[in-house]
Each structure stands twice: as structure tokens, then as C-alpha cells.
Amino acid sequence: MSGHGAPIPMTSRKGSALRGTANVPGDKSVSHRSLILGALSIGETKISGLLEGQDVLDTARAMSAFGADVTDHGEGNWSVHGVGVGGFAEPDDVIDCGNAGTGVRLIMGAMATCPINATFTGDASLRSRPMNRITVPLQGFGAKSYGRSNGYLPLTMVGARDAMGITYKSPHPSAQIKSAVLLAGLNALGETTLIEESLTRDHSERMLRGFGADIETVETSEGFATTLQGRPELVAQDITVPRDPSSAAFPVCAALIVEGSEVLVPNIGLNPTRNGLFTTLIEMGADITFENEREEGGEPVADLRIKYSDLTGVEVPPERAPTMIDEYPILSVVASFATGKTVMRGVKELRVKECDRIDAMARGLENMGVTIEEGEDFMIVHGQSGDVKGGGTAATHLDHRIAMSFMCMGLATQQPVSIDDGGAIATSFPIFEELMGGLNAHIERKNR
Ligand code: S3P
């Protein structure tokens, strides 16, 4: 929901080793998509393990506003009676996507080829994020949009009638752009093709295929081209949402930097378009083992066992960025404890996330006594061989991943680490404090 309650200042401090099992919530990307594709299909889609973070709850509410019948059965079990491809009804109020870039961009794509109008808004963070990257390709289908300058929300989208499929080469490595175009292509005649230079997360493609769409990705001289045949009949599915590797990153990285720790993080989705952090951590010398490797609901899954490790700085290959784009904040924390420097290049997309994440991490880490170099599309962290001062406060700018990264950092610094506001944590990881507390972590709200 847009607007934000009173700030929730928080502090974390060093204590004993982290021990136990961390059952992190469902994957945010898969959760959004299961609600949206459920709403666009015929029949009843049953979802288990849905992430009940605010971002996803806002998408659930939006799908009801577009005419789907969305029911919460408790404990992460939801059902969606869809309206079918092209069947969205016109919402009778503004669609408020809160903090969720994925939510608003995918929903705009899904409605852009339906003959209805809808107005979208979000919180202060979402209202400052670029929407042109979505509205420009959607214009190719004949949709029109009227927003603030630079395409910022609030924005009204006028859906296209009788849209024809398009071919679009994405100028940014973004699964949100890819997914918005493919979802718009569902109700367009003929083929829609999205070309991207590096393969971004492919949950939409996997799930569309599961719902019965004809979709395939081929590698061409221009990049990865994903082609969807328009006007499929999507058939409701049962979906088990894997646990979120981007949320798992927090207990995993905390265990790596807190001496003596050993933590089990079960059932984590290890889709190769998402697992760049784990590859990088292993290159840094992390003791991570993948147990029980299996496939669930079309996604590879494993249980992760993590032990405290002496880490060495590395150079992260820029081409790996799309597979770990949300994990650079917590990687930069881990890098602060490593020996030597960690170089992260090709990361300019970080500047248009829930906040400018390069700036937020650089300023926050400086406040904790860490030396950072940064530029438009790079960040270099000078590791301090396990000995990091802490003792400062980081500004989180309504960004859940910045908040959780600094809360993990304070578990291993000499002095406690504070953040000005942990309220945004609830967007993706509502049980973060409880789960980390269960591993012995000392994370507290101030002024309680
Ligand atoms: C997401 C894609 C990524 C990621 C976001 C979730 C998705 O954004 O940062 O948290 O579910 O498609 P971009 O695709 O814009 O890079």
C-alpha cells in the first residue's frame, strides 16, 4: 500500500554464533507471477507457499480489482479464479502497488492489451522509479500512458484494442521489462518476441509454459530471443512457490560472517538465472553445501548448509549481474569482512531499484568504517579481514534489502549497527526479525 507508517529504527549487535534452521518465505518473483497468471487463466489456480509480504499482497488486491476471484486460505495457501487472457475488467479505483516495482510493471504489461483503463500509483520509492522502460514497449502494442514527467507514477494506462504482437529489444537487462512485454503479448494477435542481451530471470517463461502458452527462447546473434504465440488459452495450475533465494541470502551471509555459525536453509529455489550470489560466495571461499538437490514445480531446489568461513575478495564478472542483481547489497556487506577487495562492475541497474542501492550501500558502509569506491556502474569494497568497526546508522530509503543487509552486518561488527527505518522489510520478508532471532541473532527495534 502506498504511504508508509512511522519509521521503525532498528539495531543489531554481535552475540553468539548463529545456529539452527532458517525457513525463509516464498519467492517474491514467483509469487507475483502465480497471482497474475492465475488471474489470466481459466479455472482455479491453487498456490501454496505464497510470500505474504506487502508487495505480493498488493498484487493480490490488484488482481481482485481487475476481476479475478482471489482467496486467502491461510498459511500461504491461496486460490485464484481467473478471468482468462484478455478478460481483465476495468478497476473502479486507483491500483496501489505500494513498494513493488515487479508488481506494477508486470500488471501494467498484463492490462496493456485489454480494452480498459487503469491508474497506478505506489509509495514514495515506487513513485521515483522509471516507468518509461515499460510504457515505451507497451506503446508498440498500441497502449497509451499518461504519467508524470519521465513516466513516473501515478500513471494512467489506456489499454490497446485488437493489439498485434511486437518484437522488442530490451535496452536494459530486466526481467520486469521482459515479463511486461510477454504478458502484454498474451492478448495480442500473432507472435511477440523479446530480445535481451543477457538472460534475466526466466520465471515468467517457465510459468507461462506451465499454464499452456507456446513460448520458447533461442540464442541468436542479437541475444536471447523469447517468442510467445498470442491469444493462448491459459489453464489454471497448482503452484508450489519455492523459497526465495534473495531472502535466503540474508541468513546465508550472516552465517558466513558470524564466527562459529552453522545454519541450514532448506528448500531454496536455485534457478540458474537467480543463483549468482551463491556462485560468488563459493569463489570467495564460503563453506556452502547443497543438499537434497531436486526439482519442484519446474524450478531446481536444494537445502543449503552454511558454515562460518574465512573469505577472500573477488572480482564479480559483470555478466553475472542479472543472476544476482538483488544480492549486491548483502554481498557488499560480506565483502567488508573478506580479505582483499571485492570488485562489482556492470551494476548500474542498482541505481534504479527501490532506492539507488550503490549510493545507499556506499554511504552506509562508510558510516561503519568501511572503505568504498563507487562509480555510475561499479562498486569496490575494501575488505577488512573480519575486523569491521560498525557503530553507525545507515539510511534505508524505503528499501527492504538495504535494511536487512545492515541488520546482518551488525551481527559481526565490533559495535552495533543501526538503521533509520526497517519498515520496508515487511515488503519481502515479514518474518525476518523472528527468523533471525531463532538463529540467535540480536536484532531489535529501538524505542520499544
Ligand atoms: C524481478 C526482477 C528484477 C529484480 C526484482 C524482481 C522480477 O528487476 O530486481 O526484485 O521479479 O522480475 P529487473 O528485472 O528490473 O532487473
Per-residue pLDDT tens over the stretch 90-133: 999 999 999 999 999 999 999 999 999 999 999 999 999 999 99
Beta bridge partners of 378: 345, 375
Q: What is the per-residue pLDDT across 228-258, written as a single tens digit (0 to 9) for each? A: 999 999 999 999 999 999 999 999 999 999 9
At 396, the amino acid letter reads T
Q: Which residue has the cell 530509503?
A: 397
Q: Comparing C-alpha atoms, which of 35, 99, 120, 70 is closest to residue 426?
A: 99
| Residue extents of the structural domains in the chain | 10-26+242-445, 28-239
Sequence-distant (≥ 6) Cβ neighbours of residue 138 within 8 angstroms: 108, 109, 112, 145, 157, 180, 181, 184
Q: pLDDT at position 212, please?
A: 98
Distance 140 CA to ligand 1 centre (A): 22
Q: pLDDT at position 296, please?
A: 81
Q: pLDDT at position 401, please?
A: 98
Phi, psi (deg, nearest 5) at residue 392: -110, -175
Which residue's CA is minimally distant from atom 11 of ligand 1? 29
Q: What is the per-residue pLDDT across 54-85, written as a single tens digit (0 to 9) for each? A: 999 999 999 999 999 999 999 999 999 999 99
Quick one: cell of 330?
548483502
CA 115 – CA 135 distance, rounded (Å): 16
Instruction: Tell me if domain 10-26+242-445 and domain 28-239 are identical in fold.
Output: yes
Verify whether ligand 1 is closer than 6 Å to residue 34 (CB atom): no
Q: Which residue has the cell 569494497?
A: 381
Q: pLDDT at position 4, please?
A: 60
Distance 385 CA to ligand 1 centre (A): 32
pTM of the model: 0.97
Verify whether ligand 1 is closer than 6 Å to residue 349 (CB atom): yes
Verify whether ligand 1 is closer than 6 Å to residue 183 (CB atom): no
Choice among 55, 58, 244, 326 that is catalytic: 326
Quick one: cell of 258?
558470524
Q: pLDDT at position 150, please?
A: 80
Q: pLDDT at position 2, please?
A: 42
Q: Is 123 part of the annotated catalytic residue set?
A: no
Verify whether ligand 1 is closer than 6 Å to residue 133 (CB atom): no
Verify whether ligand 1 is closer than 6 Å to residue 174 (CB atom): yes
Q: pLDDT at position 423, please?
A: 97
Distance 323 CA to ligand 1 centre (A): 10
Sequence-distant (≥ 6) Cβ neighbours of residue 19 within 8 angstroms: 261, 262, 263, 439, 440
SS3 87: coil
- Mean pLDDT of successive 10-residue segments in the chain (448 residues)? 76 98 97 98 98 98 98 98 98 98 98 98 97 98 94 97 98 98 99 97 96 98 98 97 96 98 96 97 98 87 97 98 98 98 98 98 98 98 98 98 98 98 98 98 86
How crowded is residue 324: how many other Cβ atoms within 10 Å of its Cβ?
Answer: 25
The topology under which CATH files domain 10-26+242-445 is: UDP-n-acetylglucosamine1-carboxyvinyl-transferase; Chain (3.65.10)
Q: Which residue has the cell 527468523?
A: 435
Residues, the chain = 448
Q: What is the per-residue pLDDT across 270-294, written as a single tens digit (0 to 9) for each? A: 999 999 999 999 999 999 999 999 9
Distance 174 CA to ligand 1 centre (A): 6
Q: Which residue has the cell 501454496?
A: 48
How crowded is residue 218: how many other Cβ atoms within 10 Å of its Cβ?
Answer: 9
First to last CA, the chain: 24
Sequence-distant (≥ 6) Cβ neighbours of residue 269 within 8 angstroms: 27, 30, 242, 243, 244, 245, 299, 300, 301
CA 336 – CA 385 distance, rounded (Å): 8
* CATH class name, domain 28-239: alpha beta
CA 406 – CA 391 distance, rounded (Å): 11
Q: Comparing C-alpha atoms, which of 445, 446, 443, 360 is closest to residue 14?
A: 443
